[in-house]
């Protein structure tokens, strides 16, 4: 992420204490909500009726979600895990080109498999 783009997110903390306090409160709430969301997604993705091939691209610099258990979850639920070393929580912003190439490769493999079956 470019420095000028990052400043858009930092500016409220730097300009006003009250904005900073508000953003901190929202951040704490979001982390709680994210935990519940992750648990819900794990339940859905582990369900036997979910037979859609799933690839999880995980930003290794994610400060919002813990990596603990992700590898085991992917192995247990037969999903593919791709670690993106330079990405954080917003992988599409941090490493858009790399993520785009990963997605392109996944879709391309799927199309090649489908052509083989036809």
Q: What is the mean pLDDT of the chain?
A: 81
Q: Between the CA of residue 41 and those of 23, 36, 38, what are the distances in Å?
A: 26, 9, 5
- Cα 63 to chain centroid, rounded: 11
Q: Which are the contacts of 95, defined by CB distance < 8 A and separation ≥ 6?
A: 59, 84, 86, 87
For the entire predicted model, the pTM comes to 0.61
Q: Going residue by residue through the chain, which has 118 residues, state the pLDDT in tens, using 9 for 90 and above.
A: 777 887 777 776 666 566 556 666 776 666 666 677 778 888 888 888 877 888 999 999 988 788 888 898 888 888 899 999 999 988 999 999 999 999 999 999 877 776 766 6
Q: What string of H, E and C letters represents the secondary structure of 43-57?
A: HHHHCCCCCCCCEEE
Q: What are the backbone dihedrals phi and psi of residue 78, each rounded to the nearest 5 degrees, phi first?
A: 60, 40
Each residue's pLDDT tens digit, 53-87: 889 999 999 887 888 888 988 888 888 999 999 99
pLDDT at residue number 112: 75
């Amino acid at each position: 992420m470019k420095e000028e783009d990052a400043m858009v997110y930092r500016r409220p903390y730097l300009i006003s204490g009250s904005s900073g306090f508000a953003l901190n409160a929202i951040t704490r709430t979001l982390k709680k909500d994210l935990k519940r969301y992750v648990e819900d997604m794990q339940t859905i993705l582990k369900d036997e009726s979910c037979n859609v091939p799933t690839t999880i691209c995980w930003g290794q610099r994610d400060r919002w979600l813990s990596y603990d258990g992700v590898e085991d979850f992917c192995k247990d639920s037969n999903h593919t895990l791709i670690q993106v070393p330079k990405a954080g929580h917003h992988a599409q912003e941090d490493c858009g080109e790399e993520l785009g190439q990963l997605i392109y490769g996944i879709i391309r493999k799927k199309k090649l498999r489908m052509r083989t079956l036809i």
